[in-house]
Chain A
């Protein structure tokens, strides 16, 4: 597993020399990242390490200054977000991007409708809402929900499109303990049929789901290893985990 990035097989996602500069600041610095089909990968790193910028480069929300993104071995650098999404990518952003003025059901249905006929979309939407444990909120307007609930709505929207690659940016933020446990289950379940990348700070949540971990620091990949090795790694602790790791241990 330690040489997971070395064999030359199929990769659902690859970046080569990915760099994103804003003026004089290099937010993502020459990143070579590989993800195998069906892999669950956690991305760690202190605030400002470039994780969210990295995500935005993957999804076409930002056009990288240099380097390439390969999705299913196809170059997607410079494509529009919706074109990348339509290749089978589902994205949960750091600040939930949901349709505030309409109901939970309609939010999820609009996601399912992109792939399915109206009749099937209805069933998929209801089943996904059920699975995410937000059935009781189905008729509520999303704008009135708590942060953790909105996170679940957005996750339901991502899952309803049944993507092959799922990007989750801080999905556990603002969640109660129960919601977080459910989220962990959902992520593990989703990882059975799709490749998943999770950016998260919540160490308890990370411990529930993480296997192979990539640590970002100052825009570059700092370490890639199994979670247990990462937790023991002094250098990683110094840049990021610090006391959190001690507390969690």
Chain B
């Protein structure tokens, strides 16, 4: 009855593009550009974390940066401490996910409404940011790794091949590895969303009362969704830390949380492709505007955001999808083939 994931051409197109870019990118594109794109890849994983919990779980979090930063610091401390990056990468998912379970437990079992959920997630982020800034003294060290306060943690190792701490990935390999992570996260989320668990999440997003009237425990469900999103945000934080080989408390900043919201909003809530396009478009724009003196990039981004919200309230991808479907229908009508306007599905 419902279109299954394996029969959705959009899914295979996305995976193919991702794999093609992963394999061919470093061959066809110069290394400087590849390193730029690597940054987009990392932030895309971060954007997917919010795209999932917001678009497919109805949880609007203003605090994805808390998990991003937590993952980054977890990775920084554990990779310096262990000298190998494999376990730290897993920890950068597990620690934020566990924190997501704890925070989610209080928020969802406490039946916080959407507005308070936004406030709590935002405040938690601010607390982390404040806390990280106050860890300058030598007493703030974990397993001998100093947290460094507002100076952050330098010399974070590059990803190495599992079990071979000296076999570091070169920039091309790092790009391929991160692309693989992005593809895996995308595929995993699509499978999750298409599963019964995912369909129930969508039901909860659509109508919490009805979901509980059907006998589903929406609190438990939301905690799980929130924790998965937290884990993915943490993983992207670790990727960010190793990419920059440096992390400071700004990973916990409101700006990081706000950026995630903007990417998802601009690209389209309820899609996974949209937020990735949001990252690419808006980060590229920020970079371009950095080269111009007379405009403050944040002001311009804010203006773009306002225009987008007013003109395309659903975001780019859903809007273009509706336009494409309407255009296709008109074209078919024009040729006398007929056919009704079908509402497009909300996932890509």
The answer to whether A97 and B196 have CB atoms under 8 Å apart is: no
- Give A95's nearest chain B residue, CB to CB: B209
Say yes or no: A113 contacts B196, CB within 8 Å.
yes
Chain B residue with the shortest CB-CB distance to A87: B215
Q: Considering residues A97, A105, A122, which has the most beta carbons from chain B within 10 angstroms of its beta carbon?
A: A97
With A85-B215, A91-B213, A110-B200 as known contacts, state yes or no: A122 contacts B1, CB within 8 Å. yes
Decide: A111 and B214 in contact? CB cutoff 8 A.
yes
Check B316 for interface membership: any CB of A closer than 8 A. Answer: no
How long is the Cα–Cα vector from A249 to B107 in the complex, in angstroms? 55
Contact B202 A105 (CB under 8 A): no
Instruction: Say whether B2 faces chain A, with CB atoms less than 8 Å apart.
Output: yes
CA distance A103 to B2 in the complex (A): 9
Question: A144–B213 contact, CB under 8 A?
Answer: no
Point out the residues of chain B lying under 8 angstroms from A86, CB to CB. 215
Nearest CB in chain A: distance from B195 CB, A: 10
With a cutoff of 8 Å between Cβ atoms, the chain A residues found around residue B1 in the complex are 105, 109, 122, 126, 138
Residues 151 to 191 of chain A near chain B (Cβ within 8 Å): 157, 161
B274 on interface, CB distance cutoff 8 Å: no
Query: B212 contacts which of A81, A98, A144 (Cβ < 8 Å)?
Result: A81
- Whether A101 touches B206, Cβ cut-off 8 Å, given contacts A110-B200, A118-B196, A141-B343, is yes
Instruction: Assess A100 versus B207: contact at CB under 8 Å? Given A82-B217, A110-B200, A144-B343.
Output: yes
A59 is an interface residue with CB less than 8 A from chain B: yes
- Which residues 173-218 of B sit at the A interface, judged by CB distance below 8 A? 196, 199-200, 202-203, 205-207, 209-210, 212-218
Task: Please name all residues of chain B whose beta carbon is closer than 8 Å to the beta carbon of A100 when the two chains form the complex.
Answer: 206-207
CB distance from A40 to the nearest CB of B (A): 21
Q: Does B206 lie within 8 Å of A102, measured CB to CB?
A: yes
In whole Å, how far is A81's beta carbon from the nearest beta carbon of chain B? 4
**B-chain residues with CB within 8 Å of residue A61 when the two chains form the complex:** 209
Complex interface bits, B140-177 against A, C-beta within 8 A gives 1, otherwise 0: 00000000000000000000000000000000000000
| C-alpha gap A103/B209 in the complex (Å) | 18
- Residue A93 interfacial (CB < 8 Å): yes
Tell me which residues across on chain A come within 8 A of B215, comparing CB atoms.
Answer: 82, 85-86, 114, 161
Question: Would you call A81 and B202 a contact (CB within 8 A)?
Answer: no
Return A236 CB to nearest CB of chain B, in Å: 31
Is A208 positioned at the interface, with any CB of B under 8 Å from its CB?
no
The verdict on A80 contacting chain B, using a C-beta distance below 8 Å, is yes
Q: Is A29 in the interface zone, CB < 8 Å from B?
A: no
Residue of A nearest to B210 (CB): A97
Determine which of A80, A97, A113, A118 lies in contact with B207 in the assembled complex, contact meaning CB atoms within 8 Å. Answer: A97
Interface residue B244 (Cβ < 8 Å from any Cβ of A): no
CB distance from B55 to the nearest CB of A (A): 11
> Which chain A residues lie closer than 8 Å to B203 at the CB level?
99, 102, 110
B346 in the interface (beta carbon within 8 A): yes
Chain A residues contacting B214 (CB-CB under 8 Å) are: 82, 85, 110-111, 114, 157, 161
Contact B196 A81, beta carbon cutoff 8 Å = no
Which residues of chain A are within 8 angstroms of B200 by Cβ–Cβ distance?
110, 113
Could you say which residues of chain B place their CB within 8 Å of the CB of A80? 212, 217
Residues of B within 8 A of A141 (CB): 343
Q: How far is the CB of B219 from chain A (nearest CB, A)?
A: 8
Complex Cα gap A98–B208 (Å): 10
Contact A93 B202 (CB under 8 A): no
Max chain A Cβ within 10 angstroms of own Cβ: one of B196, B203, B213, B343: B213
Contacts of A103 in B (CB 8 A): 2
**Bound form: Cα–Cα A100–B218 in Å:** 17
Give Cα distance in the complex from A75 to B204, angstroms.
Answer: 27
In the complex, how many angstroms separate the beta carbon of B196 from the nearest chain A beta carbon?
6
Tell me whether B202 and A101 are in contact (CB under 8 A): yes
Cα distance A98–B211 when bound, in Å? 9
Given known A85-B213, A114-B215, A161-B214, contact A101–B196 (CB-CB < 8 A): no
Report B81-125 CB contacts with A as 1/0, cut-off 8 Å.
Answer: 000000000000000000000000000000000000000000000
What's the Cα separation between A138 and B2 when bound, in Å?
Answer: 11
The one of A102, A113, A144, A157 in contact with B202, judged by C-beta atoms closer than 8 angstroms, is A102
Known A106-B2, A110-B199, A141-B343; contact A81-B206, beta-carbon cutoff 8 A: no
Contact of B210 among A59, A98, A126, A144 (CB under 8 A): A98
When the two chains form their complex, are residues B207 and A98 in contact, meaning their CB atoms are under 8 A apart?
yes
27 contacts between A and B (CB under 8 A): A81-B213, A82-B214, A82-B215, A85-B213, A85-B214, A85-B215, A91-B213, A93-B209, A97-B207, A97-B210, A97-B213, A99-B202, A99-B203, A99-B206, A101-B205, A101-B206, A102-B203, A102-B206, A103-B2, A106-B2, A106-B199, A110-B199, A110-B200, A111-B214, A114-B214, A114-B216, A141-B343
User: Which B residues have a C-beta under 8 Å from some C-beta of A?
Assistant: 1-2, 196, 199-200, 202-203, 205-207, 209-210, 212-218, 343, 346
Query: Known pairs A98-B210, A113-B196. 19 more at Cβ < 8 A?
Result: A59-B213, A80-B212, A82-B214, A82-B217, A82-B218, A85-B215, A86-B215, A91-B213, A97-B210, A98-B207, A99-B207, A100-B206, A100-B207, A101-B202, A101-B206, A106-B199, A110-B199, A114-B215, A118-B196
Q: Which 8 A-B pairs have the closest CB atoms?
A: A99-B206, A97-B210, A85-B215, A81-B212, A86-B215, A82-B212, A114-B215, A97-B209
